[in-house]
Amino acid sequence: MFEKIIDFIRGLYNTAGIIPLHEPRFRGNEKKYLNECIDSTYVSSVGKFVDIFEKKVAEYTGSKYAVAAVNGTASLHIALILSNVKHGDEVITQPLTFIATANAIVYTGAKPVFIDVDKDTMGLSPIKLENFLNDNTYSVEDDTGIYSYNLITHKPIKVCIPMHTFGHPARIKELKQICDKYHIVMIEDAAESLGSFYKGKHTGTFGKFGILSFNGNKIITTGGGGMIITDNKELAIKAKHLTTQAKVPHKWEYVHDDIGYNYRLTNLAAAIGVAQIEQLPGFIKAKRQLAEEYKNFFKNTEIKFIEEPEYAKSNYWLNTVILKNRKERDKFLQFTNENDVMTRPAWRLINKLLMYKDCTKDNLDNAEWLADRVVNIPSSVK
């Protein structure tokens, strides 16, 4: 069976060589724009490509504002700061995500709280979230607003960060309603889901902020890069201010009015980004076609291919299959990787990592089930 899968994937990519999990493609204006950048001497974080890239991302996602940053992790950090997350606060997220989601929470001095995902979307579960909040929080009102406090730790739960896993949109509308009910700000980690839509609306545009990543393995890349998207003008201005060392604009004076960060994307990176986003519709078309071929192939097997939720249009960033159990998963990983077809399991659940093992967590049955069975298979644009 595994041999047939390898033959099929080799057929898709038409090669007997190594098949990576996800390779970037540079088939557009990357070199042209980079040359323009170098010729202009504007290689650092001031330059026209940064502004163009922001505009293009805002346009594509339907977000009113987009603020470029050095990477997705930094984007999350800024979004959390601007959501008023402070030392000792708590932030809900899912245990099945890339480490950056949890790390950014800790950068603010807050603690993550892990809530389970849904088995079908692999994203944060609305039912589990609501049950947790209902059973484990009480509300407190002070002169800055109403907050849900954790019954056990007596700390406010300020923010919730759902993640659109492998590009598949989570049940984001339901999650937003629950967050609203409990006075929790929602930030969407849409690092993996550029080009994915929930009922026609782009992922990352449902919360107060969404963040994107343009790391080398994402659907489009700038080498390293990220973006904060929001519909709130005041917050967008603050985000740009914080990512540029909180420098007060002035022709020659250097005055800073806050602790800022050196988080702005460089013009060089943005030049690649502009060339990449021009190709995004083509990438998505190719990836959806690849997913369709995988779907048809796995139909006749014991392995389940994860399809986009019925309410969504996914970018199919990383194609995902579900093996029968952990033993089968490990056999599959070994066989494919030994045969130069790169595959990988889901991340080790974050609550199981040393740094996060003492964090508050709910029942995580679905995440554990998925962690034992999920495998990502080659997903590069052909």
Ligand X SMILES: *Cc1c(COP(=O)(O)O)cnc(C)c1O
Residues that bind ligand X (CB under 6 A): 71-73, 97-98, 100-101, 163, 189, 191-192, 213, 215, 226
- Count CA atoms within 13 Å of residue 138 on its CB side: 5
Exposed / middle / buried, residue 120 (Cβ in 10 Å: 0-12, 13-18, 19+): middle
Least Å from the CB of residue 252 to ligand X: 33
Identity at 370, one-letter amino acid code: L
- Count CA atoms within 13 Å of residue 308 on its CB side: 22
Least Å from the CB of residue 162 to ligand X: 10
Least Å from the CB of residue 25 to ligand X: 18
Between 212 and 303, CB nearer to ligand X: 212
Between 82 and 100, CB nearer to ligand X: 100
Nearest partner of 333 among 381, 377, 380, judged by Cα: 377
Least Å from the CB of residue 179 to ligand X: 18
Residues 381/220, Cβ–Cβ less than 8 Å: no
Neighbour tally for 41: CB within 10 Å: 9
Query: How many angstroms separate the CA atoms of 241 and 339, rounded?
Result: 49
Between 182 and 197, CB nearer to ligand X: 197
Residues 108/80, Cβ–Cβ less than 8 Å: yes
Least Å from the CB of residue 54 to ligand X: 16
Between 156 and 204, CB nearer to ligand X: 204
Nearest partner of 90 among 71, 113, 73, judged by Cα: 113
Query: How many angstroms separate the CA atoms of 299 and 190, rounded?
Result: 29
Between 22 and 373, CB nearer to ligand X: 22
Query: How many angstroms separate the CA atoms of 36 and 42, rounded?
Result: 9
Between 322 and 346, CB nearer to ligand X: 346
Residue with tokens 């929602």: 186
Residues 270/70, Cβ–Cβ less than 8 Å: no
Position of minimal CB gap to ligand X: 72
> Please, which residues have CB within 8 angstroms of residue 36's CB and are 6 or more apart in sequence?
271
Least Å from the CB of residue 245 to ligand X: 19
Residues 93/114, Cβ–Cβ less than 8 Å: yes
Residue with tokens 């009922």: 199
Least Å from the CB of residue 211 to ligand X: 7
> Please, which residues have CB within 8 angstroms of residue 144's CB and are 6 or more apart in sequence?
none
Query: How many angstroms separate the CA atoms of 286 and 380, rounded?
Result: 9
Between 156 and 207, CB nearer to ligand X: 207
Between 185 and 220, CB nearer to ligand X: 220
Least Å from the CB of residue 222 to ligand X: 9
Least Å from the CB of residue 212 to ligand X: 8
Query: How many angstroms separate the CA atoms of 255 and 317, rounded?
Result: 42
Least Å from the CB of residue 265 to ligand X: 11
Among left, alpha and beta (phi > 0; psi -120 to 50; other), residue 227 is beta
Between 115 and 303, CB nearer to ligand X: 115
Query: How many angstroms separate the CA atoms of 116 and 360, rounded?
Result: 12
Between 53 and 298, CB nearer to ligand X: 53
